[in-house]
């Protein structure tokens, strides 16, 4: 037990894990998992769900949990030593999961299980397992089987390297600006840049490509040359336009070639066809048609957005021919003039503690739970830990039941990858080895700016939306009432439906009845004034056409890249072609956004980035049920909240997502609510 990665008594010992623990722990757990696999695949071992779970699932659970800790630390507390340990163990771990997913003996055991002997949750998990065996290469033999395994291992290495290059290229850039270059940039951003320069022992103001530094410069800096410098550095990260040692070009080409080969080994024409098998969408063509239909509806609004900005730039900013680095600045200035407020003005009211309290209040009210601070080992002093509880009536007695727990890691810092995400630490599971209920635990990770001058961190409204989004994923994982691990919470949920609960939560960031409880001016403590909120609402769909076609551009590029594109060819012409079709702003020739498109090259979104727009349709329609049942005070209905919780959150992946949606709405989803919410109806 001297190795903290081998301690499964409760929560992970994040504060004790060192790089030297990784190799011995993974070796020990891989050996145990291998032994369990051998045991359950022996000829005499019973073809029974519980028997297999008791031996194999408990072993793979330990491996998954320990490797999850290592992977998480690699994402949020990256060091050269940890990275080396992670990369050394990665091929062995990948090899095991690949072998497990393609083991024909285990596949035969699962096929021999009689679904009539299973409960509803187990039947869904069994159905998914059989499907995943096929996708995992279990029906391959001989050389094809060996090649499939080699492809999985190589893909894992390439994705990890892609992610490292993107992080390293981002971290490698810094520019020490002079004070006069930062005219227009918000005070708190300037102060943070000054403090960062001083920490480096340098003069001036340190700017980086991390979002809390980069985005405000692009939106607010009056200096065109500074915006150009930052933009050029940002869109050329990890590409042939920057430092060759971080260039992801060859990695992308190899990843695409391997995915095509994998698909063909499995009997599909391309990777897009493989990708949609476990999703709601029935075919890549259905996805492409969906995206093009949405583009057709959104593009006129996007063209109007650009025409407005061009006219405003020429008239008010003396910019006759705006460049790519000018658009965020023009957009912010136009928004300020049209709606007479700025993101900076709004930000003063969103202090992190107040926002968090407001988020917890809506969760507690709507889903009938309580959130309290809790204690656990953490990887950084800024990480907070919470527990979710529910009151349970047991005859005459009321008791408090633990529902789930979560870590919140809000701040951006070096060694932490950008973006925001939710990940699971462990799933809800009625353990077959001891009969005890394992409660779910989640990570909620963001990259917000830190507070300056002793003041609490200030969040932009976009940051607030991000926090609500990730909490939606967390609630999906933690509020589940499913006891079968592989379909509890987010497990087993179709990828193009998994964003429903996250995008659903975003809607509350636009409700006065919710928002007024989560604002307090950083200096005066006064809540957000109603007139400022009204301006925000008026501006809510500002450039929503532009935002929609941008997401469609990414999604269509992703799906065509994995279906029609020849991996041996350069992919940049395809990106240009997609932009010609759907985009209304053409970026400069040096732009290389695909080279940091981690969602599809180092995440789970390959041929699946469309899921965001697909799930937006579901979430907007689900939220419309709350609009239809809101009280006179605008507060959401508790009854609707309960119905949503039971039909969607508690059901997890225990049934097809469309069934959960119809259980809540009583019908198929409709596009109307999304277009209405985004001002494009």
Coil, helix or strand for 414?
A: coil
- pLDDT score recorded for residue 533: 95
- pLDDT score recorded for residue 596: 97
Tokens 């989640």 sit on residue = 442
Predicted confidence (pLDDT) at residue 634 exceeds the cutoff of 90: no
- Under DSSP, the state recorded for 594 is G
- Under DSSP, the state recorded for 206 is E
Choose the CATH number for 352-537 among 1.10.8.60, 1.10.1370.40, 1.10.340.30, 2.40.50.140. Answer: 1.10.1370.40
Question: What mean pLDDT comes out for the span 337-358?
Answer: 93
Distance (Å, rounded) from C-alpha 468 to C-alpha 501? 10
Looking at the chain, the whole-number percentage of residues with pLDDT higher than 90 is 93
Distance (Å, rounded) from C-alpha 169 to C-alpha 581? 30
- Roughly how many angstroms between the first and final C-alpha of the chain, as a whole number? 60
Which pair of structure tokens corresponds to residue 376?
Answer: 């656990």
**Residue 560's closest CA among 294, 292, 295?**
292
Identify the bridge partners of residue 486 per DSSP, sorted by sequence position: none
Question: Which residue in 470, 484, 511, 553 is the catalytic one?
Answer: 470
Distances (CA, A) of 489 to 224, 376, 404, 679: 47, 22, 11, 32
Distance (Å, rounded) from C-alpha 82 to C-alpha 88? 10
3-state helix, strand, coil in the chain (%, to 5): 60, 10, 35
Which pair of structure tokens corresponds to residue 252?
Answer: 């992308």
- Under DSSP, the state recorded for 432 is T
Coil, helix or strand for 102?
A: coil
- The answer to whether 470 is a known catalytic residue is yes
Distances (CA, A) of 11 to 22, 27, 421: 17, 21, 20
pLDDT digit string, tens, across residues 74-105? 999 999 999 999 999 999 999 999 999 999 99
Distance (Å, rounded) from C-alpha 407 to C-alpha 481? 20
Burial (CB < 10 A; 0-12, 13-18, 19+), residue 656, is middle
Burial (CB < 10 A; 0-12, 13-18, 19+), residue 646, is middle
Distance (Å, rounded) from C-alpha 322 to C-alpha 325? 8
Of residues 11 and 681, more confidence is placed in 11
Question: What mean pLDDT comes out for the span 522-547?
Answer: 93
Burial (CB < 10 A; 0-12, 13-18, 19+), residue 80, is exposed
Distances (CA, A) of 626 to 22, 103, 211, 623: 47, 46, 33, 5
**Residue 274's closest CA among 282, 287, 263?**
263
- Under DSSP, the state recorded for 92 is H
Distance (Å, rounded) from C-alpha 218 to C-alpha 204? 18
pLDDT digit string, tens, across residues 111-143? 999 999 999 999 999 999 999 999 999 999 999
Tokens 């009938």 sit on residue = 368
Distance (Å, rounded) from C-alpha 151 to C-alpha 125? 26
Distance (Å, rounded) from C-alpha 498 to C-alpha 634? 28
- pLDDT score recorded for residue 3: 97
Average predicted confidence (pLDDT) for the chain: 96
Identify the bridge partners of residue 466 per DSSP, sorted by sequence position: none
Predicted confidence (pLDDT) at residue 395 exceeds the cutoff of 90: no
**Residue 649's closest CA among 444, 424, 475?**
475
CB 453 within 8 A of CB 191: yes
Distance (Å, rounded) from C-alpha 30 to C-alpha 450? 40
- pLDDT score recorded for residue 671: 82
Q: b or e along 597-632 (b: 16 or more beta carbons within 10 Å of the residue's beta carbon)?
A: bbbbbbbebbbbbbbbbbbbbbbbbbbbbbbeeeee
For residue 548, name the pLDDT band (cuts at 50, 70, 90). Answer: very high
Of residues 339 and 69, more confidence is placed in 69
- pLDDT score recorded for residue 1: 59
pLDDT digit string, tens, across residues 30-59? 999 999 999 999 999 999 999 999 999 999
Question: What mean pLDDT comes out for the span 274-301?
Answer: 95
Cβ-based neighbour number of residue 381 at 10 Å: 5
- pLDDT score recorded for residue 632: 85
Distance (Å, rounded) from C-alpha 580 to C-alpha 575? 9
Coil, helix or strand for 310?
A: helix
Coil, helix or strand for 576?
A: helix
Q: Which residues contact 146 (CB under 8 A, 6 or more apart)?
A: none
CB 68 within 8 A of CB 424: yes
- At what angle are helices 461-478 and 352-367 packed, to 10 degrees? 40
**Residue 308's closest CA among 630, 316, 168?**
316
In the chain, ranges of CATH 1.10.1370.40 domains: 4-168, 352-537
Burial (CB < 10 A; 0-12, 13-18, 19+), residue 438, is middle
Cβ-based neighbour number of residue 490 at 10 Å: 23
For residue 393, name the pLDDT band (cuts at 50, 70, 90). Answer: confident
Q: What angle do CA 215, 216, 221 make, to 5 degrees?
A: 120
- Annotation: CATH topology of 4-168: 1.10.1370
Please report, to the nearest 10 degrees, the dihedral formed by the alpha carbons of residues 314, 319, 321, 326 taken in order: -120
Q: Phi/psi at 630 (nearest 5 deg)?
A: -65, 150
Question: What mean pLDDT comes out for the span 168-179?
Answer: 97
**Residue 172's closest CA among 572, 590, 604, 596?**
596
- At what angle are helices 657-665 and 611-629 packed, to 10 degrees? 20
């Amino acid at each position: 037990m001297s190795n903290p990665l081998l301690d499964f008594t409760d929560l992970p010992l994040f504060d004790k894990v060192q790089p030297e623990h990784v190799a011995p722990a993974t070796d020990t757990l891989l050996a145990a998992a291998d032994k369990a696999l051998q045991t359950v695949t022996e000829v005499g071992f019973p073809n029974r769900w519980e028997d297999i779970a008791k031996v194999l699932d408990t072993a793979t659970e330990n491996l998954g949990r320990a490797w999850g800790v290592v992977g998480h630390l690699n994402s949020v507390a990256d060091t050269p030593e940890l990275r080396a340990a992670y990369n050394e163990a990665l091929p062995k771990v990948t090899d095991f999961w690949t072998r497990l997913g393609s083991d024909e003996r285990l596949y035969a055991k699962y096929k021999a299980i009689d679904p009539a002997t299973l409960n509803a949750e187990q039947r869904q998990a069994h159905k998914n397992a059989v499907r995943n065996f096929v996708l995992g290469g279990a029906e391959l033999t001989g050389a094809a089987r060996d090649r499939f395994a080699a492809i999985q291992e190589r893909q894992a290495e390439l994705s990890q390297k892609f992610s490292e290059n993107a992080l390293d290229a981002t971290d490698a850039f810094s520019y020490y600006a002079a004070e006069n270059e930062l005219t227009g940039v918000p005070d708190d951003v300037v102060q943070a840049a000054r403090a960062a320069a001083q920490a480096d022992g340098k003069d001036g103001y340190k700017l980086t490509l991390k979002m809390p530094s980069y985005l405000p410069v692009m939106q607010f800096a009056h200096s065109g040359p500074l915006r150009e410098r930052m933009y050029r550095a940002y869109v050329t990260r990890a590409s042939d336009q920057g430092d060759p040692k971080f260039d992801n070009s060859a990695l992308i080409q190899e990843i695409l070639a391997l995915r095509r080969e994998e698909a063909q080994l499995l009997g599909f024409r391309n990777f897009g066809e493989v990708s949609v098998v476990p999703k709601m969408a029935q075919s890549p063509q259905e996805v492409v048609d969906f995206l093009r239909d949405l583009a057709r509806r959104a593009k006129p609004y996007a063209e109007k957005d650009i025409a407005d900005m061009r006219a405003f730039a020429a008239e008010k900013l003396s910019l006759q021919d705006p460049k790519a680095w000018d658009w965020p600045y023009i957009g912010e200035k136009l928004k300020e003039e049209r709606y007479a407020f700025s993101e900076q003005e709004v930000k003063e009211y969103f202090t992190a503690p107040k926002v968090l309290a407001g988020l917890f209040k809506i969760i507690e009210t709507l889903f009938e739970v309580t959130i309290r601070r809790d204690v656990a080992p953490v990887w950084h002093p800024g990480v907070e830990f919470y527990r979710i509880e529910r009151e349970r009536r047991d005859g005459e007695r009321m008791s408090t039941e633990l529902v789930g727990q979560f870590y919140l890691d809000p701040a951006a810092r070096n060694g932490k990858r950008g973006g925001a995400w939710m990940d699971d630490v462990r799933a809800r599971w009625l353990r077959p080895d001891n009969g005890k209920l394992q409660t779910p635990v989640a990570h909620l990770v963001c990259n917000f700016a830190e507070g300056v001058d002793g003041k609490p961190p200030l969040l932009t409204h976009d940051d607030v939306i991000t926090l609500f989004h990730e909490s939606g994923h967390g609630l999906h994982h933690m509020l589940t009432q499913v006891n079968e691990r592989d379909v509890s919470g987010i497990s087993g949920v179709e990828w193009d439906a998994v964003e429903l609960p996250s995008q659903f939560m975003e809607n509350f960031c636009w409700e006065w009845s919710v928002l007024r409880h989560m604002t307090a001016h950083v200096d005066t403590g006064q809540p957000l004034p109603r007139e400022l909120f009204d301006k925000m609402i008026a501006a809510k769909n500002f450039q929503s056409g532009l935002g929609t076609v941008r997401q469609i551009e990414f999604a269509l590029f992703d799906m065509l890249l994995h279906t029609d594109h020849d991996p041996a060819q350069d992919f940049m012409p395809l990106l240009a072609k997609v932009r010609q079709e759907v985009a209304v702003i053409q970026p400069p020739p040096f732009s290389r956004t695909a080279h940091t498109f981690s969602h599809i090259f180092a995440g789970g979104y390959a041929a699946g980035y469309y899921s965001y727009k697909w799930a937006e349709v579901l979430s907007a329609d689900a939220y419309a049920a709350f609009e239809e049942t809101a009280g006179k005070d605008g507060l959401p209905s508790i009854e609707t909240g309960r119905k949503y919780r039971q039909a969607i959150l508690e059901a997890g992946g225990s049934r097809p997502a469309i069934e959960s949606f119809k259980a809540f709405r009583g019908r198929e989803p409709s596009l109307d609510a999304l277009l209405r919410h985004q001002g494009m109806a």
